[in-house]
Amino acid sequence: MPLYGLYALLFEDHGLSTGSISSLFVLWSVVAFVSEVPSGAWADTVSRRGLLLGSGVLFTATFTIWMVWPTVWGFAAGFVLWGVSESLKSGTFEALLYDELAALDAEHRYAAVMGYANAGEMVCVFVAILSASPLFGLGGYALVGWLSVAITVANMLLVLTLPCAPCAMEADELDGTGDTATSVPPPSAVLARYVSALRDGTTEVRTDKVVRRAVVLAAALLACLAFDEYFGLLAREGGATIEQVPVLVALTVVGQVIGAAAAGRTASMSGRVMSAVVIAGAMLLAAGAMVGGVVGFIAIGFGYGALQNTAIVAEARLQDTMSGRTRATVTSVVGLTSEVMSVAVFAWFAVGSAWIPLSALVVSTVLPLLVVGITAVRWLPDRGSSAAS
């Protein structure tokens, strides 16, 4: 959506400060993590494709509200819907993909396919961001925003083309009678399965040390990708015009595309290699924020691409390691943990922006990234350490 490259500027141009914008990001993350694990358990209970469709409806509503109600309350309402939308998608898509590959005896392709999916998403974001400048010149925020709404509708319809991957639990576990011919289980059986999925998934994370460490590692890497919401403001702080901002932000997307597309090739990396990649990515981010301009944003793009790659690999190792019985629930714990960490990032930006330039705030995130890099040496599961399904 073209509005991706401009929505932080939309907020700022409607009177919001960096601190207020950060507060909206905090609200977004809080809503997402409150609903994250419960929605993951639903993805282990009901149609995953149906949940993804619901996620698309809420995402469309987000941009629509921003267009018709461009105030702080309208922006907040949009972020509430977006947060729920993200929670419905997080864990659901990953579980659908892994189980569909498992049905084809192709689990080993998960990292590559997920990498290509992420790369495809980033290519679409790249095109959308680059189109934001000419579209803004033609029709301002209105044209950019309503075209974004139309694209979300098309994206929502694409969900209907996704396959229906088999669930880990069988039909007789739903109706409790052993009669697999029962097509529509009673609500009590669905609720019982939901509670069971929620309990079993969270129990696996608590009791399995390898799974728990993989969850935290994947979540930390994803959380370190949270501050891309500030790239537009960072570009403006460096002197870029509204028309130039999307171009600079698009440079960071190129790095993410490369990093995601390479996930299949790097899927077998060791913990030591991941540690080196994360630390190198952190240093590139810091250098890029300080340098600014085209060169700086290219460096940020390479750093972000490195982190995108390691996040996909870490999540793929988690998929291999978990039992798979409540796959979406366990994966949603990654989203929950990531959102909690993201709130800390947004809160730091909200508080720090009153005294510190955005470039310095970005540099300050390097320290947690260094810790993540060091931790990866021991916490990244070995490839092939899958649990029995």
Does the pLDDT value for residue 161 go beyond 90?
Answer: no
* Contact between residue 283 and residue 303 where contact means Cβ atoms under 8 Å apart: yes
Does the pLDDT value for residue 37 go beyond 90?
Answer: no
Q: Tell me how far apart the alpha carbons of residues 86 and 22 are, in angstroms, rounded to a whole number.
A: 18
At residue 389, the pLDDT reads 37
Q: Which CATH architecture best describes the domain 2-379?
A: Up-down Bundle (1.20)
Pick 15 or 385 by higher pLDDT: 15
At residue 132, the pLDDT reads 77
Quote the pTM value. 0.72
Alpha helices in 44-166 (DSSP H): 48-68, 72-89, 92-103, 110-158
Residue 378, Cβ density class (10 Å: 0-12 exposed, 13-18 middle, ≥19 buried) = exposed
Mean predicted lDDT score pLDDT of the chain: 81
Does the pLDDT value for residue 196 go beyond 90?
Answer: no
168: Cβ contacts below 8 Å, ≥ 6 apart: 44, 99, 324, 325, 326, 327, 389
Q: What is each CA distance from 166 to 7, 104, 118, 163, in whole angstroms? A: 38, 11, 23, 9
Q: Tell me how far apart the alpha carbons of residues 233 and 267 are, in angstroms, rounded to a whole number.
A: 34
Helices and strands: H and E segment counts in the chain: 17, 0
Pick 86 or 2 by higher pLDDT: 86
- DSSP category for residue 324: S
- DSSP category for residue 388: P
